[in-house]
Amino acid sequence: MKISNTLTGRKEEFIPEGDPVKMYVCGITPQSAAHIGHAMSYINFDVIRRYLLYRDYRVKYVQNFTDVDDKIIARAAPLGITPLELADRNIADFQADMAALNIMPADAYPRVTREIPSIIELVQGLVNKGFAYEAKGSVYFRVTKLDDYGKLSHRTLDQMQAGARIEVGEDKEHPMDFVLWKAAKPGEPSWDSPWGKGRPGWHIECSAMSRKYLGETIDIHGGGADLIFPHHENEIAQSESVTGKKPFVRYWLHNGLLQLGGEKMSKSVGNLITIKDFLSRNSADALRIFVLSSHYRSPLTFSAEVIDGAEKGAQRLAQALQAAGGGKVAAFDGEAYRQRFVEAMDDDFNTPRALAALFDLARDLNRIDAEGGDASAAKTLLRELADVLGLRLMAAKTAADGGKIAEAGAEIFRELGRDVPDWSGDAGKAMADVITLRAELRKVKDFAKADILRGKLESIGVSLKDTPSGTTWEYKPK
């Protein structure tokens, strides 16, 4: 397996330090609802994690929350709530969004406000070693102490300094020195420290939390390409200076950014589509296919047309899984598809090629089914590989559609005097039972009731297709 390393600029053989693979991905600043730009990053790293697990690596995955920040403080004040209350609310919403997107939960979600002692300890360590200094209650990192500052972003200190400026009231030795501990301001959250009351700077937080939960060195550190400088550059400076161990991170992975209307999708620009808004109109699988159709390091441009294409792709894969099976065993080279998938993912997690293998597999599955063959082996493999990419492959486009289909199934059962099973809004389970019921009615030649059943489904956009090997269904919202 080879992966691209931002630090070296090369594609390198993946050799983790030990077991488990230690993986840290920068989390959100929970100032407002998460948007699909966030989703793009976390889908990519979710798939990377899932593939490592598929390849039998154990993975410890940590993702933080920056739950105290200038933006959170500014946004909470007009709402009449504390910054922590705002952060709590948005973190809960974020985790619900991640579950809706089928993103695996992290093994740990450290929050800055709960890790202050670890952060202070790290800052003190840097001060003790001469890498940091105190000025008027704040503490700054001394970049001139390092010979290799800029090695991640591949820029020299002089190149960085050209665009730097010192803010009024700052007492930095060098324009590129960055804050580790901010002196307290009236009305803002603060904590006691050896330098007086204050709160952590942004960069020190991730160094402290990754160290506490994963150790002094880690295998994979991920985040958006916009974090390379200054955030990840400064993490390296802090962590390697305090521990003396290099490299702090063996493999730096950065995903491309999502664009809408020619600009990066971000809170500061204001061109946002929240995850909740997206999922009210489209499926989580469509968003995954949209993201994974491009290499994780490449930028993506959002458009309704592209999402519509991804939605249709998701439905094609979902429909293939409904092949009835039960015919004669067909010639099927599953290992060739699995090998294509693995070779693609081993090549720096090349999800476009991996997806292409899935669509070809689905096409083969449909061929086998149409010929009356047994497609069960192909279905099992498609489900296996789709799981690695985090695709649920449900025939319903959205959760609301799934509920609508399940409710239609319940009405059919009630009208025909049958007990309604507990489907919990799952369209797939509902339709499996409805199709079984219809087969029973046709077997006893009760075609009138079978037609009532079919008409009820068609009224909400569900069509049935009878094939030599069984019945499949398709949903097109009306």
Compute the chain's Rg from CA coordinates: 27
Backbone torsions φ then ψ of 197, nearest 5 degrees: -65, 145
Query: Among 319, 151, 298, which Cα is nearest to 233's?
Result: 151
Q: Binding site for ATP: which residues?
A: 267
What secondary structure does DSSP assign to 418-463, as a single string?
A: -PPP--TT-HHHHHHHHHHHHHHHHHTT-HHHHHHHHHHHHHTTEE
- The CA distance from 235 to 122, in Å, is 12
- The CA distance from 22 to 88, in Å, is 27
DSSP H/E element including 413: helix 399-415
User: CB–CB of 394/283 below 8 Å?
Assistant: yes
Give, as one character, the DSSP assignment of residue 154: T
- The CA distance from 351 to 397, in Å, is 22
With 0-12 / 13-18 / 19 or more C-beta atoms within 10 angstroms meaning exposed / middle / buried, residue 261 is exposed
- The CA distance from 107 to 104, in Å, is 9
Residues in the chain, overall count: 478
Q: Binding site: which residues?
A: 26, 206, 231, 235, 267
- The CA distance from 465 to 28, in Å, is 45
Alpha helices by DSSP H, listed for 36-156, are: 36-54, 70-79, 83-100, 116-128
Between the CA of residue 166 and those of 158, 169, 230, 432, what are the distances in Å? 15, 8, 15, 66
Residue with tokens 């689905």: 362
Tokens (6 digits) for 90: 């948005």
Residue with tokens 């293939």: 320
Cα first-last separation, the chain: 45
Q: Binding site for Zn(2+): which residues?
A: 26, 206, 231, 235
Cα-based angle 92, 96, 102 (whole degrees, multiple of 5): 145
Query: Among 222, 219, 304, which Cα is nearest to 256's?
Result: 222
